[in-house]
Amino acid sequence: MSALALDRVSVALGGRPVIKDVSLSVRSGQWAALVGPNGSGKTTVLRAIAGFVRPRGRVLVVGVDSARLRRRERARLVAVVPQLPTTPADMTVREYVLLGRTPYVGYFGGSGRADRVAADRAIERLDLCALAARRLGWLSGGERQRAVLARALAQEARILLLDEPTSALDLARQQQVLELVDELRREEGLAVLAAMHDLTAVSLYAEAVHLLGGGRLAASGAPREVLRAEVLTASYGASVRVLQDGADLVVVAARP
Amino acid sequence: MTARRTPTVAAAAVAFLAAAVVAGLLVGPAGLPAGDVAQAFAAKVPLLGVHSPLGPTESTIVFDLRLPRVALGALVGATLAVAGGAYQGVFRNPLADPYLLGIAAGSGLGATLVIAYGPPGSSTSMLLPAVAFAGGVTSVVLTYLVGRGTTSLILAGVTVAAFFTALETFVQQQRSESIRDIYAWLLGQLETSGWTEVAIIAPYAIVALVTLVAHRRVLDVLRLGDDEAAALGVDVGRVRLAVIVAATLGTAAAVAVSGLIGFVGIIVPHAIRMLAGGSYRVLLPLSVVAGAGFLVFADLLARTVLSPAELPIGVVTAFFGAPFFAVVLRTTRVVGA
């Protein structure tokens, strides 16, 4: 059974169709990448899965129709790392990670022992122990991104949605974050669906690639099948070369 | 830093409230000795066997003039401060105050109508707080209906307030002979007639305080933004509505008995934010305590500075609050709402 399955999902915003008939699935422990030019609907697909917009078609989360799930139930299954997470400057890392336990805490309740244990585990898992009492405003970009991942991990969800998780980071931090996500999905069996711009990173980390163009799924398959020069050129409208580097692919822009 | 400072700030807030209450009970034109007042309070405790040294008049001054006035100040101050803090959280707007959604204009119009057109003596009757309360609640309901489902609830509040203020000004121009009474009400006062005002506001204030403080953790989640809070399973619309309802009931009741007292709902939560950090789990409970202390203290100044005349308390909260706030603003690192 897929951890996540989209069955002919469409979303219209303000009467304008943004994504149309998108079907895809992600297994537990699998990293699937969502690629496509700006405005192709990547973020909208993620928002439909997270329940921020109500789609037509069905979103199945661990086999259950997402529309039937209550908000809190969905939040226990799906964790979201947005493109630009809000990280209040005066909040400590530990307070922030504990907010990931919100779907398990009663409306007027406080966090209990199980919540503190889960938060501590996430903090340890992302190597943030030394920074746990530090305020978010004092962290570097890479440390802050780790705190965001720790909050998502504390949520103990089965599905992790990432929207451009590395767009604000330098090369080394990008690598660090992608490696961490890769470890988490292997060891925790998380199903990862990530909207990504860096197609070389996609070929390095993703097992499945879903290419969106104009709101429709233009191609789906293994990186080797989707990341081909003619496919990308047609979809992005850019002149692209795909180079072979050992077993990996390198996608570069070429002069038209 | 937050965690270490919180107990200190909490202790200071409690001490501030205690000092304000004691001063409020001891200071007044009757010049009662502090020891006698303390003894009179001890005499109220059964089984202690203490006898009050105060005569009937003095006893009335302490228990039916000063004590209800202190209690009213504490309730109004706590309500305005916690309503302001909760609004700043729920709208993620550091300038939000308890009057954000039009309460001031609605209550103001209600009070103006009663003073201008009511039967003689109605400005001191129970009609005024009732109509002021109804006006405040009406304006917030209108604001919510106009702005619901859009992101511009605050703009809807501005719109409703502008309309009600226009009506209010029109009535004032029509009845310029009552303008003095209307302004006296608008500028705020904590005058009490025994325990009546306290009894009017207490149920609303207590419901508002309990509800808003109970939302402290959810408001921390809302600091992450609507989408991220929703992704964590929070029904943002419901939280916003619950906070609006609670803050409206409390604020409208406060305005009904004490007029428009500005600045408390902004200055108190922000001072705490700067001293103890922005977590609502700390901010809201401490706003209750510090808001109560701040208004009791402001009222003490209002009735002593120009004694025997009284200053409108709204003038005092701004006159003494603004410089204090300026000092806090200059000496601490600014933390957003």
**B169-227 tens-digit pLDDT:** 999 888 888 888 888 888 888 887 789 889 989 999 999 999 999 999 999 999 999 99
B336 pLDDT higher than 50: no
B125 pLDDT higher than 80: no
B250 pLDDT higher than 60: yes
Gap between the Cα atoms of B185 and B201, Å rounded: 17
Determine the distance in angstroms separating the CA of B211 from the nearest CA of chain A, rounded to an integer.
9
Structure tokens at A255: 């002069």
SS3 B305: coil
Provide, as residue numbers in chain B, all residues whose Cβ is less than 8 Å from the Cβ of A71. Answer: 230, 233-235
Percentage, residues of chain B above pLDDT 90: 47
**Of the candidates B154, B261, B21, B265, the residue with the CA atom closest to the CA atom of residue B273:** B265
Q: How many CB pairs under 8 A join A and B?
A: 75
Gap between the Cα atoms of B333 and B195, Å rounded: 42
Gap between the Cα atoms of A249 and A251, Å rounded: 6
**B275-286 tens-digit pLDDT:** 888 899 999 999
Query: What is the amino acid identity at position B260?
Result: L
Q: Indicate the average pLDDT of chain B.
A: 88
Query: What's the gap between Cα B78 and its chain centre?
Result: 6
Looking at residues B262-288, what average pLDDT do you find?
Answer: 91
Residue B82: what pLDDT?
Answer: 97
Looking at residues B244-272, what average pLDDT do you find?
Answer: 91
Q: Which residues contact B219 (CB under 8 A, 6 or more apart)?
A: B86, B89, B90, B239, B243, B280, B284
Residue B74: what pLDDT?
Answer: 97
A93 contacts A136 by C-beta, under 8 angstroms: yes
The ipTM is 0.90
Chain B residue closest in CA terms to A109: B217
Do the Cβ atoms of A71 and B336 come within 8 Å? no
Rounded to 10 deg, the angle between the B313-331 and B280-304 helix axes is 130
Percentage, residues of chain B above pLDDT 70: 95
In a domain, B336, yes or no: no
Q: Which of A107, A115, A116, A134 to mutate to test the interface with B (most CBs of B within 10 A)?
A: A107
Contact residues of A toward B, CB < 8 A: 47, 50-52, 71-76, 78-80, 82, 85-86, 88-92, 95, 99-100, 102-103, 105, 107-110, 133, 135, 155
Do the Cβ atoms of B228 and A85 come within 8 Å? yes
Residue B335: what pLDDT?
Answer: 47
Gap between the Cα atoms of B192 and B66, Å rounded: 9
Q: Could you say which of B214, B231, B277 has the minimum Cβ distance to residue A80?
A: B231
B221 touches chain A (CB under 8 A): yes
In a domain, B337, yes or no: no
Q: Which domain holds residue B216?
A: 2-331
Looking at residues B146-172, what average pLDDT do you find?
Answer: 87
How does residue B52 score in pLDDT terms, banded at 50, 70 and 90? Answer: confident
Q: Could you say which of A103, A109, A135 has the minimum Cβ distance to residue B232?
A: A103
B334 pLDDT higher than 60: no
A215 contacts A41 by C-beta, under 8 angstroms: yes
Residue B149: what pLDDT?
Answer: 66
Do the Cβ atoms of B223 and A135 come within 8 Å? no
B35 pLDDT higher than 60: yes
Residue B260, burial from CB neighbour count under 10 angstroms (0-12, 13-18, 19+): buried
B302 pLDDT higher than 80: yes
Residue A233: what pLDDT?
Answer: 87
How does residue B332 score in pLDDT terms, banded at 50, 70 and 90? Answer: low
Name the stretches of chain A with pLDDT < 70: none
B123 pLDDT higher than 70: no
Do the Cβ atoms of A110 and B217 come within 8 Å? yes
Residue B269: what pLDDT?
Answer: 93
**Of the candidates B296, B229, B228, the residue with the CA atom closest to the CA atom of residue B261:** B296
In a domain, B197, yes or no: yes
B94 touches chain A (CB under 8 A): no
Determine the distance in angstroms separating the CA of A83 from the nearest CA of chain B, rounded to an integer.
11
Whichever domain contains B71, its CATH number is 1.10.3470.10
Structure tokens at A49: 């899965």
Looking at residues B12-23, what average pLDDT do you find?
Answer: 95
Structure tokens at B268: 């108190």
How does residue B3 score in pLDDT terms, banded at 50, 70 and 90? Answer: low
Looking at residues B88-100, what average pLDDT do you find?
Answer: 86
CATH topology of domain A4-228: Rossmann fold (3.40.50)
Do the Cβ atoms of B218 and A109 come within 8 Å? no
Chain A residue closest in CA terms to B215: A108
Structure tokens at B1: 């830093």
Residue B138: what pLDDT?
Answer: 94
Query: What's the gap between Cα A251 and its chain centre?
Result: 21
In a domain, B20, yes or no: yes
Q: Count how many domains chain B has.
A: 1
Domain boundaries, chain A: 4-228
**B303-321 tens-digit pLDDT:** 888 878 888 898 899 887 7
